Structure 1
Amino acid sequence: MDAPLFQVYITAFLVGFLGGVHCLTMCGGLVGSLTLGLDARIRAEPWRMLPYQFAYNLARVAGYGVAGALFGGLGALLLQLDSFQVMQRGLYAFAGIMMILLGLYLGGWWRLLAVAERLGLILWRRLQPLTRRLLPVRTLSQAAAIGFLWAWIPCGLVYSVLITATATGSPANGAGLMLAFGLGTLPNLLGIGLLAGAAARIAERAWIRQVAGLLVIGFGLYALWQLVG
């Protein structure tokens, strides 16, 4: 892996981690419902829920990897339409702009990316009935199946990083980037599952969301600066 791509992976991980404050507020209710969706015998002993929380989240990260491969493959097709260097630089510039928009979204200053989430609801309405068939969750395979479907919930944070996956111009690199992003989200979403509402209440503090937003904006500006430098 060359250094620039490695930097992109690290950035994706940090965006996932910092953007997790958005996950805490948006997905907190979902995680709670998944916990309640576990068989009562599993919920009766809290320590038994841990493998199911990992199954939900690792399958969710795997779903991100599949989406990254699809968007990376789309990027590979786009790169064939024009000069490789020109098209790739254009995609990375677009990814940098999307990161800035994401930072504004996280900080609560401009919610343009909420439009992407509303559009994504069309896909989610088709997938949601599948999750109902898997409840109550009695096995780890059921938890993993729900977790994989969870990856396709409309989310401006995820969609923003998918643009960067497109810019990699490769299914493998796109998958790797989204896996790095997904791993960054793990601490926050596991925190919801294990600490109930405490983690979500912390994320609701405006200054935490604003600091995370500023840092993500910084990543976007740095990506644009690299292109012109």
Structure 2
Amino acid sequence: MLSEVNFLAAFLVGLLGGVHCVGMCGGIVGALSFGLPESTRQRPLAQLPYLVAYNGGRILSYTVAGAAMGGISALAMHLLDVRQAQLVLQLFAGAFLILMGLYLAGWWLGLARVEGLGARLWRHIEPLGRRLLPVSSAGHAFALGLIWGWLPCGLVYSVLIWSLSAGSAAQGAWLMLGFGLGTLPNLLLMGVVAARMSQWLRKPWVRRLAGAAVIVFGVVMIGRSLWQFA
């Protein structure tokens, strides 16, 4: 039950944070499309394999990072008392869900500050991505997605910090996979469809409703944890 709630909440965070994702990664997707042969650029469906490959690589990077963070939490559980570690991790997850909900609803933007955490690492990775441009094949696009999946992004890093509470590498990967899939509609569906979806996601009531839903997930998780370990 807990893993399903985490997956759904992470998916909502990715989906409702889609406007932010377009701002961060939309230029990269545009550069990818612009570098394709002219005959491919003129046919939107012909670009689809490249976009799928790019986003597949990006989401794989998210999933691997989530597995690493979940593995760290699993190690902590082995080093500490398991029952106490589970309680701390679940309370941490619930609290972070509440912060995520506040962020999505636009009531508190403090999570965006974690973006600077990966700036130093990105300075070493970013040149590798530039070498792959222009993209000449779906394999190229996949490799580019693997690299750009590490782009400094407050939303991604916030979910990564949340995945520290997963308790295992598999659960951490599952959580980040849910987030990555949530980001797909805004980055995979280009043109009119993406524009309309972004316009809908910008509506204050939509963001507040989604934020409130994620906050409820967090409160329920904290309540269940305290009840279970009482």
C-alpha contact 1:22 1:106 (8 A) present in aligned 2: no
- Which moved further from structure 2: 182-191 or 71-80? 182-191
What is the aligned residue count?
A: 227
Q: 1:59 to 1:216 in 2, by over 3 A?
A: same
**Unaligned regions of 5+ residues in structure 2, if any?**
none
For 1:105, the equivalent position in structure 2 comes to 103
How far, CA to CA, are the matches of 1:123 and 1:100 in structure 2?
28
- The secondary structure found in structure 2 opposite 1:167 is coil
Q: 1:223 to 1:188 in 2, by over 3 A?
A: farther
For 2:17, the equivalent position in structure 1 comes to 19
Shift of 1:194: 7.4
Shift of 1:193: 6.5
Opposite residue 70 of structure 1, the aligned amino acid is A
Q: 1:14 to 1:209 in 2, by over 3 A?
A: closer
The superposition leaves residues 58-85 of structure 1 with CA deviations (integer Å, 9 ceiling, x where unpaired) of 1111111110111111111211231112
C-alpha contact 1:22 1:209 (8 A) present in aligned 2: no
Q: TM-score, normalised by structure 1?
A: 0.86
Q: 1:143 to 1:76 in 2, by over 3 A?
A: same
- The secondary structure found in structure 2 opposite 1:113 is helix
For 1:206, the equivalent position in structure 2 comes to 204
- The secondary structure found in structure 1 opposite 2:79 is coil
Return the match for 1:150 from 144, 148, 151.
148
Any runs of at least 4 consecutive aligned residues in structure 1 with deviations exceeding 6 A, and if so which? none
C-alpha contact 1:57 1:186 (8 A) present in aligned 2: yes
Return the match for 2:213 from 211, 215, 225.
215
- 1:125-144 aligned at under 5 Å gives the runs 125-144=123-142
How far, CA to CA, are the matches of 1:14 and 1:119 in structure 2?
23
Q: TM-score, normalised by structure 2?
A: 0.86
| C-alpha RMSD of the superposition | 2.3
Opposite residue 187 of structure 2, the aligned amino acid is L
The superposition leaves residues 132-167 of structure 1 with CA deviations (integer Å, 9 ceiling, x where unpaired) of 111111100110011112221222322232234222
For 1:4, the equivalent position in structure 2 comes to 2
- 1:12-161 aligned at under 5 Å gives the runs 12-161=10-159
C-alpha contact 2:97 2:214 (8 A) present in aligned 1: yes
Shift of 1:46: 1.8
C-alpha contact 1:16 1:182 (8 A) present in aligned 2: yes
How far, CA to CA, are the matches of 1:209 and 1:32 in structure 2?
26
Q: 1:197 to 1:188 in 2, by over 3 A?
A: closer
